[in-house]
Structures are given as C-alpha cells and as structure tokens.
A and B are shown apart, each in its own frame.
Chain A
Amino acid sequence: MPKPPFPCLEAGVGWHNQLIQYLVTGITTGAIYALVALGFTIIYNATEIINFAQGEFVMLGGMIAVTMLAGLGLPLWLAVILAIAATMLIGLAFERLAIRPVRKASVMNLIIITIGGSILLKGAAMLIWGKDDHPLSAFTPAPPLHVFSAVVTTQSLWVMAGTVLAVILLHVFYERTITGKALRACAFNPKAARLCGISVERMILFSFGLSATLGAFAGVLIAPITFTSYDVGTMLGLKGFCAAILGGLGSNPGAILGGLVIGVAESLSSGYVSSGYKDAVAFLILLLMLYFRPAGILGKRAEKV
C-alpha cells in the first residue's frame, strides 16, 4: 500500500499542532549541528582545512563527561568543565603533533590527515570505552514544559540556551579580544597578518583548540538526549559539515543558520514526508546547494576556475 504523502492531513489531525513540536525538535538537533558546523568553520577559516575529526570532538566531550560523572562520581558541572577542557587539550595536541609538522603539505594531504585522526580517535575511544552506548543524566531532571501544543524537555532548553551562549561568547571573542581579532586577520589574509606581527602558527593552534572546545560542548549538551558511544561522532560530524557548506563555508552566522535549517528540515521531513529518508535530507540539501548556490547561503561567492 503506498503511503499517502501527508497521512496526518488525511487523518484529520491538526497538522499545525504537530508543526510546533517538529520545530522544537528540529531546532534542538539543529543547534547541535550548528555547533559542529561552527567548529568546521573556525578551522577552515584559519587553515582552509576541512577537519573531518570534528565529529570526534563531539564524541569525546560526551564520553569523557560520562566517565567523570559515572566513573569518578564528580558533580555534573565539574564533569562538564573537565570534559570540555580535556577535549580542548586533545584538539591542541592533534594540531601540534599531526598538523603543524606538515604545514607545508597540500591542503588535500592535510584533509586526509584529519580523516586519519578521526579514525584514530574513534578507534582509541572504542578501546577505552567499549562499543556500548552510555547514558548521561539530564542536567536538570524536571518534567517537560508545555509550550503551546508542543512539549519541550528541559534538556532541549539547555541545548538551545547553551548554543546561544556559545554563539554570543564567540562573537564577543572575535569582536572584542586581541586574539579574536588576530584570528580574523589570519583568516582574511595570513601574509598580511604575519607582517603585522601575528603568529599564524599560534592562531592555527588556537583555532583547533577553540573548535575542539565547541565540539565537546555540543557533545556534552546532546548526550542526555541521545546517549553517547564511540561512533556517535561520524554522523553528527557529517551533518555538521553539510550545515557548514549550506551556510557558506567560512561564515560563522552561516554555520548557525545552516545547522538550524538542516535540523528543522530533517524533523519536518520525517513528520510530513518519510522518516526513512530523513537522513538523506541533509545530504540532498548539500547536493542542491552545490548545484545552485555553491557559496552557501551567507558565504562569499565561490571562485570559478
């Protein structure tokens, strides 16, 4: 029996009642995609590298938090901070050990190194934590709220608030601090930046640390909703990557917008079209984007050869 295109319309159920729920769900996952996409953007701006290990930072954030909380019995806030700090160190180490020594290599080789890094981190996580999924308790265990006809869990609120906070802090950092301004200068013109006395090497190191921090933050926020396991990073990383392209690779506001659009599109399509093809949505959007507006929604125009 073929499925009617809009079964809930035919069933006579108020589709607008569900719409709000779909939006809430979409924005929650979209916020995570946005944080991952920001990580891609930060590194891309500093180095032109697409860091395929970005998803693993998300995984590490969640996994380390679980270990700190359940394994060592630390309080939640401390576990979260330590997880983010540890992941940041791993990000810095990755740049220092695998990227900086070969900075002269072609961008393609560097991208392959990040792919290797991703597999390495995933393999290590599997050995340390095994293949099981691990739960993380909600930050504030309270019953879900009712907003109009939709239900919003407190963890969803944490995700949204956390993302907004991260975006604001990032903005302040870029606009108000010397380091932030230097980072922007590097992205804009590394040679000129170097002439002004900015250490490009240090800025690249910094960008890896920053994007690992954001990734880990996303990982900690989402873990109570979705659990976490050694392989959770791959799909989140790829979706975040689609979001970064959609928004325009290199644009911070674009990354956020891209993440939200993909999250909402996935949620709506599983609600109104087919949940089987939900995962294809992000990649279809990516393909369409490359066809019609390769620079992304907010990106600079792509350079033709």
Chain B
Amino acid sequence: MKKLAIVIVFAALAGIVAFSVANTAEKATETYKIGAVIDATGPQSGLGEPEKQTLTMLADDLNAKGGINGHKVELILYDNENDATKSVLLAKKLVNDDKVIAVIGTTTSPTTMPIVPILSEAKLPLVSCAASWKIVKDPDTQQTRPWIFKTAQSDSLAVSKIYEWCSQNKISKVALITVSNAFGDSGLGELKRLAAEFKIDILDEEKFGDQDPDMTAQMTKIKGTNAQAVICWATGKGPAIVAKNLKDLGMTQKLIMSHGIANQKFLDLAGDAANGIILPAGKLIVADQLPVTDPQRKLLIDYKTRYEAKFPGAKVSTFGGHAYDAFMILTDALKKAGPEPEKLRAEIEKTKKHAGCGGIFNMSPTDHEGLTKDAFVMVQIQNGKWELIK
C-alpha cells in the first residue's frame, strides 16, 4: 500500500514537471488564439458563411507561411446561429475559457451589440464585421468605445454617397421604403438624419416586413407623391419584390437601393426588374472595372481568385470582404505590437492607409471605422450586370 502511494506521488510530481516543461517550451512559440463569432447558420447565413470561409482560408494561409513572427495562429470560430443570446454565451466562452487575445465578429449588428459590453469589460479588442455605427460609438454619449472596431462601412457612408449622387443628378425629392429589421431601421435613421445636409426632401416613408408577400400598397402610395426617386433600404427578397412592383405599377421614378443588395442572389431574384437600379457598393463587385491605378484593385482581384479557387462553386461576397479586412487589420497589428491587449488595441487604432476590401482604412482614437464615403462607388445594374458609374 505504501509503495503504491509513493509511486502515485512520484508519478504526480513527474507529471507536474513534465507539464510545466511542456508549458515553458510552448511559451517560446506560443500560438496566438484569435476568437471569432460568426452568424454562419440561421437566417443570415448568406452573410455569415462567406465570412467563416474567408477567415478559415486566411488563417490556413497565414500558418502555411509560418504565422506571425514565428507564432502560429489558432482561429477559434463559433457559430451563433444569428441568435443574440448564443452570441453572448459564445463571446463569454472565447474570453473566459479559450482565453483568446482578440475577437472577430459578429456578422450582423443585432448579434454584435450584445457582445460589445463583454469585450469592453474583458478589455480585449473586438473587430466587428457588422455595419451599425452604434457598435463603435456609444449612441448616448457619442464616445468612441476604446476596445471596439469594425470593418463594414457604416450606413451613413452609403447614404452620403447616395445623396451626393442625387444632388449631382438634380434629384431633391425622394420617397423611402425600408424593411422593418435592424438593417432597414438603421438605414432609415441615417436617411432621415442626413437629408437636410444634402438638401433632400423626404416626401414619404414606407415600411414592409421581411416576410411580406407584396409591396404594391406601399408603392402605390409613393406613386401618388411627387418623389423623383425611390430609395429602398433592405436585404433579401424584399428589394426584389419592390423592384418588380415598381415596374408593374409603371412608375417612372429612379429606383435607388442600398449596398445590401450587392449580391448575385438579388440579380437572380429580381431578373429584368433589376435593370436600371442604382446603388452604392463596395468595390469588390466591380473590381475588374476599376482603373488600374486604384489602390484596392490588385487586392480585390487577388482575394476573389484565392477565395473562388479554395471554395469551388462559391462566389466571393462583400461580406466575406469585411471578415478579410477584420483579419488583416488584426494580424497586421499583432505583427507590430504583439499580443498584449492594450498594445494591440493601440496598434489597431494606428492603422493607416490600409487598403482592404471595404476601402482604405485610416483609424484614429476617435474613429474606429476608418472609412469615408469613398469606400463606396456608385453602380448601376444593366442587363443583369453591375456597371460602375464613372
């Protein structure tokens, strides 16, 4: 019995020694754990899936090239299923259990908002791929949240780009039709807020639900106004129905949409009715039409070929681009500043002239988005194709 006890004690001691040796050995080339929470399944999977694929692709490629300063990168990616509660649980898991050094995600504003306080309290950087400005700024105090960054262009930039185009084309009276969800709600807010600045009159505001079968009633009401253009802010099938209804009703107003429709799916759904629609879009969908001097051109084409080679059958998307930017900005900062959270945070804040998929990023202590309205170009749909308006 005694013997057994001694054996056990020795075995335990040996175990501890071995463990600590292994631990110190690991320290030298410790892997950098980067967490990600992505809406990979659920109703927004069309946005989340390419983000997930992009992140895994980038992490694999980076490790194949030897990682960051000799450190391998371990990407711990969770799927929140577009559920705010799950988002919170998974963010806590990344922070407390997996002990990551930074988090990328989530895909949409309603799933990012609830994890903002978690990362702020844990004092770890969060780089979100969602669009709402409320992610990086406290809406009540207008203070920039020190630990939170984002790569998707804010709606205000898209709205500014649209209104700028309206002014150039002598359009001053518009009618709005927006979807009743976070995306439409945010767009509506910005469209109303910025109208005065660009001397735009909003004659009518309409809404529709994201499962509505038909928007003829709302469009009829808009038809009765003197609006010169209709601005539709929505994603999914809603905008395609709006486009069809506008055409069926024989309306002659210009139809302007948000960057939320810049995907092949919209063209498939709307068919002929899509032709003539004008929208602001990230440069990715018109990469090959950009002038050769454009600083983003090479990168965009490179991302597109890499992505489509790695995932045959998949099409590169703007949303994957947001994840691309989040990963690159984060890993660039890691390369320069190392994993210590405060240093890493400060380094991300110093990101300057970083050419990404979504635009040229110039971060600062008061700007954690780093983009201007020139992140967007105006695009018109012609014959079922995106045509850059020059």
Contacts and interface: CB of A to CB of B under 8 A. Distances in A.
Touch test A–B (CB under 8 Å): yes
Contacts of B43: 131, 231
A270 B236 contact: no
Contacts of B237: 133, 226-227, 229
Pairs of residues from A and B, 8 with the lowest C-beta to C-beta distance, nearest first:
A226-B213, A133-B237, A13-B224, A25-B216, A21-B220, A276-B207, A267-B217, A235-B211
B214 A275 contact: no
A75 to B, nearest CB: 19
Contact of B224 (A11, A133, A279): A11
Interface in B248-283: 248-250, 265, 268-269, 271
A22 B221 CA distance: 9
Interface in A13-72: 13-14, 17-18, 21-22, 24-26, 28-29, 32
A80 B46 CA distance: 29
A227 B204 contact: no
B269 A21 contact: no
Residues of B in contact with A, size category: 20 to 34
Interface in A163-179: none
B250 A151 contact: yes
13 contacts: A3-B205, A13-B224, A25-B220, A29-B214, A131-B45, A144-B249, A235-B209, A235-B211, A266-B217, A270-B206, A270-B208, A271-B218, A274-B207
B241 interface: yes
B211 A231 contact: yes
Contacts of A267: 216-217
A273 B209 CA distance: 15
B240 interface: yes
A108 interface: no
A132 B265 contact: yes
Interface string B226-258: 000000000011001100000011100000000
Nearest to B218: A275
B46 A132 contact: yes
Given A7-B204, A151-B248, 7 more contacts: A131-B43, A131-B45, A135-B240, A135-B271, A226-B212, A270-B221, A279-B209
Contacts of A235: 209, 211
A275 B211 contact: no
Contact of A25 (B203, B204, B211, B214): B214
A132 B263 CA distance: 12
Given A7-B204, A133-B265, A275-B206, A225 B221 contact: no
B217 A21 contact: yes
Q: Which secondary structure dominates chain B's binding surface?
A: mixed
A226 B238 CA distance: 9
Contact of B269 (A227, A232, A268): A227
A273 to B, nearest CB: 11
Interface string A206-249: 00000000000000001001110101101110000000000000
Contacts of A132: 46, 265
Contacts of A131: 43, 45-46
B180 interface: yes
A133 B236 contact: yes
A293 interface: no
A66 B204 CA distance: 36
B24 interface: no
Given A3-B205, A275-B208, A18 B220 contact: yes
A8 B223 CA distance: 11
Interface of B: 43, 45-46, 180, 203-209, 211-214, 216-218, 220-221, 223-225, 236-237, 240-241, 248-250, 265, 268-269, 271
A184 interface: no
Given A153-B248, A270-B218, A232 B211 contact: yes
Contacts of B249: 21, 144, 151
Contact of B217 (A25, A151, A231): A25
B217 A276 contact: no
Contacts of A100: none
A189 to B, nearest CB: 38
A96 interface: no
A29 B209 CA distance: 14
Contacts of A17: 224
Given A153-B248, A231-B211, A232-B211, A18 B221 contact: yes
B213 A18 contact: no
A187 to B, nearest CB: 30
Contacts of A225: 213-214, 241
A132 B206 CA distance: 25
Contacts of B46: 131-132
Contacts of A271: 217-218, 220-221
B213 A222 contact: yes
B226 to A, nearest CB: 8
Contacts of A270: 206, 208, 217-218, 221
A145 B241 CA distance: 18
Contacts of B236: 133
A136 to B, nearest CB: 11
Contacts of A231: 43, 211
B379 to A, nearest CB: 22
B241 A226 contact: yes
B224 A236 contact: no
A222 B213 CA distance: 8
A88 to B, nearest CB: 23
B223 to A, nearest CB: 8
A28 B240 contact: no
A270 B203 CA distance: 16
Contacts of A22: 217, 220
Contact of A275 (B203, B217, B225, B268): B217
A228 B45 CA distance: 17
